[in-house]
Amino acid sequence: MDWLLSIVRIAGVSFPVASSLVQLQTEIDSKKLIERVRKLEDPISFLHEDIPELSRLIYGQIRSTDSPKIAFDSEIYSKFRRPLAALEKLGCIKGSHAIGAMYVGGFWLSDPTFVMYMCALEEDKRRMESLIDLVDKCPEGQWLKGSKIKEQIDVPMPVIAAVFEIYERKGFGLCSKEVGATMYMGQA
């Protein structure tokens, strides 16, 4: 088929049938390009077709438990075994495995960008804008406490921790290393 379309492009609009085939090829190429660009813009969704649905379930767990540890029943693990494997391979989640069990005791969120992906799917835009604005404008030397932000903005602590970590990775501040504390100090 490719060879036929190549010949048609060469022939161009000289032949009545060829012009419609050239237009068809252009539309096919355009759709392929759009799909490739979407994959670059949203690489997580394209790991597996069920990733968005699974991500919504994970975010629902984050919202209800306020924890980066996720535990589902075996039916969920069975249904989403491939997207879970893809997410783990990419480093979005970490879990312990055993013979006969996909995730022993659940799994943990390990990539803050994956948390932001889930927020883009499920979290209120205004809440996220408030959180980002607060962290982005954090004065040098000032500590932000995750617990107070949670009360103010009503987003789960794993979301707050993910934003803090992203800003720390950029070099704009430091995350507290105190066990159990979700705090961020602005540096730049």
Is the distance from CB of 173 to CB of 188 less than 8 angstroms? yes
Burial environment of residue 128 by CB neighbours within 10 A (0 to 12, 13 to 18, 19 or more): middle
pLDDT of residue 35: 55
pTM attached to this predicted model: 0.77
pLDDT of residue 98: 83
Q: How many angstroms separate the CA atoms of 65 and 157, rounded?
A: 10
Per-residue pLDDT 10s for the chain (188 aa) are 444 444 445 445 444 544 555 555 555 555 655 555 455 456 687 788 999 999 999 999 999 999 999 999 989 999 999 999 999 999 999 998 888 778 888 999 999 999 999 999 999 999 999 999 999 999 999 999 999 999 999 999 999 999 999 999 999 999 999 988 999 999 98
pLDDT of residue 34: 54
pLDDT of residue 8: 46
Of the candidate CATH numbers 3.40.50.360, 1.10.3720.10, 1.10.10.10, 3.40.50.150, the domain formed by 123-186 belongs to: 1.10.10.10
Question: Residue ranges per domain, the chain?
Answer: 2-41, 46-109, 123-186
pLDDT of residue 148: 97
